[in-house]
């Protein structure tokens, strides 16, 4: 059934955004309802506020499931303020005829930078070294103090070489690293990549097939000196298996921008595991990147409300485990 296009529409935005992109919604004459909290709206509020809106601009912490979509089937657009879409039941959105968009490309470099920052920080043990300084344990310069791993000549395995994976590979080339990739189109088989890599960096979208892609068996295939980097989604790793592997010395460390759950409670056992550096999902967190993400999300909302195809539509779901993340 064709949607009617409101002349003046209402848009529910589930968090305050960076930049002034929302001004374009006001300028187009639309009403904008911005959730005032820093926490996501509780699910009941999310449904209630969206039920009164024509379009939704949401973030990766909002759960847009089948029940939500059934209650809000009148929506003319859902604009996710993220490239990842695992918080949205895309199949259900298609069934309800609701166009869904995301924010691809614009966060590629910022996220690749964070992957590389995690790689450098874990390789050179920056958190442990900085903590020693802060604790007054600096001591005399020691030949064997805070030894880390070299990047030059080391092998970096990139799992899911989409845009972000490719941007990480570009950075690795500047450090004279050898790069292996596994993608939906082929490349190095995952088992070989895990066995040969000194660093493994994950760049796959979270889907039913990539859920726990890195499980106990995968960790077992890695070198005991290897470091695992994850800037994709927490649930791509079986987190309990990772905690066990770090304690057992199956791998040497992990640098994680994403966890399961988020936020991670301060007493979570992952934070007690050796050689783990956890960041609070800051891959895209630069002022310019987040402001540009706002612009793309607003582009999607304006198009949806005007009955036009979204300029940044959700990609067709990948059919293979190692499809690109962005
Ligand atoms: C995304 O966009 O999917 C990132 O994880 C957050 O910016």
Active-site choice (30, 221, 233, 312): 233
Span 196-229, pLDDT tens digits: 999 999 999 999 999 999 999 999 999 999 999 9
pLDDT of residue 322: 38
Indicate if ligand 1 lies below 6 Å from the C-beta of 107. Answer: yes
Catalytic residue status for 233: yes
Angle at 116 between CA 106 and CA 103, to 5 degrees: 15
Catalytic residue status for 31: no
Render each residue's pLDDT in the chain as its tens digit; 326 residues: 455 555 689 999 999 999 999 999 999 999 999 999 999 999 999 999 999 999 999 999 999 999 999 999 999 999 999 999 999 999 999 999 999 999 999 999 999 999 999 999 999 999 999 999 999 999 999 999 999 999 999 999 999 989 999 999 999 999 999 999 999 889 999 999 999 999 999 999 999 999 999 999 999 999 999 999 999 999 999 999 999 999 999 999 999 999 999 999 999 999 999 999 999 999 999 999 999 999 999 999 999 999 999 999 998 764 443 333 43
Distance CA 217, CA 83 (A): 29
Protein residue whose Cα sits closest to atom 2 of ligand 1:
82
Catalytic residue status for 166: no
- In ligand 1, the atom with minimum distance to the C-alpha of 284 is 7
pLDDT of residue 317: 61
Indicate if ligand 1 lies below 6 Å from the C-beta of 283. Answer: yes
Q: Which residues contact 246 (CB under 8 A, 6 or more apart)?
A: 253, 254, 273, 274, 275, 276
pTM of the model: 0.94
Q: Which residues contact 290 (CB under 8 A, 6 or more apart)?
A: 17, 18, 19, 284
- In ligand 1, the atom with minimum distance to the C-alpha of 233 is 5
Give CA separation, 215 vs 88, 184, 210, 212, 268, in Å. 24, 19, 10, 5, 19
Query: Which run of H or E residues covers position 79?
Result: strand 77-80
């Amino acid at each position: 059934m064709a949607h009617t296009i409101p002349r003046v529409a209402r848009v529910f935005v589930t968090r305050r955004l960076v930049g002034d992109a929302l001004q374009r919604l006001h300028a187009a004459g639309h009403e904008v309802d911005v959730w005032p909290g820093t926490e996501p709206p509780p699910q009941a509020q999310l449904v209630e506020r969206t039920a009164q809106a024509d379009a939704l601009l949401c973030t990766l912490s909002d759960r847009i499931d089948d029940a939500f979509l059934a209650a809000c089937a009148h929506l003319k657009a859902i604009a996710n303020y993220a490239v990842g879409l695992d918080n949205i039941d895309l199949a259900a959105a298609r069934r309800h005829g609701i166009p869904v968009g995301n924010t691809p490309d614009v966060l590629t470099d910022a996220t690749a930078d964070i992957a590389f920052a995690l790689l450098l920080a874990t390789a050179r043990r920056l958190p442990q070294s900085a903590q020693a300084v802060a604790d007054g344990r600096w001591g005399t310069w020691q030949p064997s103090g805070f030894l880390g791993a070299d990047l030059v000549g080391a092998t970096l395995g990139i799992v899911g070489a989409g845009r972000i994976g490719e941007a990480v590979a570009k950075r690795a080339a500047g450090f004279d690293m050898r790069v292996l990739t596994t993608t939906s189109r082929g490349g190095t088989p995952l088992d070989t990549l895990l066995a040969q890599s000194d660093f493994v960096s994950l760049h796959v979208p979270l889907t039913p097939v990539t859920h726990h892609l890195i499980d106990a068996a995968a960790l077992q295939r890695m070198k005991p000196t290897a470091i695992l980097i994850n800037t994709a989604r927490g649930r791509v790793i079986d987190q309990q298996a990772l905690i066990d592997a770090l304690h057992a010395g199956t791998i040497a460390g992990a640098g994680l921008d994403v966890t399961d759950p988020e936020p991670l409670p301060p007493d979570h056992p992952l934070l007690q595991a050796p050689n783990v550096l956890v960041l609070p999902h800051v891959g895209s967190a630069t002022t310019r990147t987040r402001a540009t993400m706002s612009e793309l999300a607003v582009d999607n909302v304006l198009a949806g409300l005007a009955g036009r195809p979204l300029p940044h539509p959700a990609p067709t779901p990948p059919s293979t485990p190692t499809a690109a993340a962005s």
